């Protein structure tokens, strides 16, 4: 169902984003892969070496409007359009409020909120013109509850949840679907941690989140999956 569609995946250099890139390539999509470092070109090379020819890497700062617009324009020129945007780029840290600097606060908001806004805004004119498209944002379970030491990160995820909800109402008349995937603990590089270490062996994997993206994006056109919340069994998640 997704074969030959065009997707943009941000934060695709490693971790969850890289897993999403691989899963979408397996589904037959054409991919623009976005990363903040040159590492993104390694992912492009790996995928092409595995036989996925329609892949293009872009080193882009998702907080810079001009760079984002140029990437989206290049994607449309390269592949003929954009059917799916996966907002995955994100950063996070955990500190007491009084230990959090203004610079740290601004950085996490710039990437997690402004980046989602700019990438979504950039694809909307094209999606509206063709009256179809899906925007999936990888958020977090802390978009629904709060944690100590996570004021900045949690605040960004509440903001993202509100933004995506409002955007969904704005664009559904154009056949555009907007949803969030809110994972719990995922074995990734989040917060400068290591992926694949033993104490994360029972956590969610990047492939689990990638599968959720495929499910949300491949839903029938009359169906909107607003939100997917997923946790590992070992996580004690507060339901309310």
Residues classed as catalytic: 153
Rounded-to-integer distance, Cα 167 and Cα 99, Å: 34
Question: Residue 85 in contact with residue 120, Cβ under 8 Å?
Answer: yes
Region class of 122: left (phi > 0), else alpha (psi between -120 and 50), else beta:
alpha
Integer angstrom CA distances of residue 122 from 24, 62, 183 = 21, 11, 25
- Among all chains, which residue has been given the structure tokens 């623009």? 32
Report the distance separating Cα 186 and Cα 208, nearest Å: 9
Rounded-to-integer distance, Cα 10 and Cα 32, Å: 9
CA distances in angstroms from 32 to 68, 116, 178, 208, 214, listed in the order given: 12, 16, 19, 21, 16
């Amino acid at each position: 169902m997704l074969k030959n569609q065009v997707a943009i995946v941000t934060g695709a250099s490693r971790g969850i984003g890289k897993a999403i890139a691989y899963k979408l390539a397996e589904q037959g999509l054409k991919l623009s892969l976005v990363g903040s470092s040159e590492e993104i070109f390694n992912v492009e090379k790996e995928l092409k070496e595995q036989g996925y020819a329609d892949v293009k890497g872009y080193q882009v700062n998702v907080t810079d409007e001009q760079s984002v617009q140029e990437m989206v324009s290049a994607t449309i020129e390269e592949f003929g359009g954009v059917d799916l945007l996966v907002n995955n780029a994100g950063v996070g840290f955990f500190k007491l409020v009084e230990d959090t600097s203004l610079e740290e606060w601004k950085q996490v908001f710039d990437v997690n909120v402004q980046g989602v806004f700019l990438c979504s805004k950039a694809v909307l004119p094209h999606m509206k013109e063709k009256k179809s498209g899906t925007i999936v944002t990888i958020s977090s379970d802390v978009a629904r509850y709060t944690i100590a030491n996570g004021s900045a990160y949690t605040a960004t995820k509440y903001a993202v949840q509100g933004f995506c909800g409002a955007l969904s109402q704005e664009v559904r008349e154009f056949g555009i679907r907007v949803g969030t995937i809110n994972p719990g603990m995922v074995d990734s590089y989040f917060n400068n941690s290591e992926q694949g270490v033993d104490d994360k062996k029972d956590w969610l994997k990047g492939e689990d989140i990638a599968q959720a993206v495929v499910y949300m994006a491949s839903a029938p056109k009359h169906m909107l999956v607003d939100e997917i919340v997923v946790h590992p069994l070992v996580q004690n998640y507060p339901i309310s």
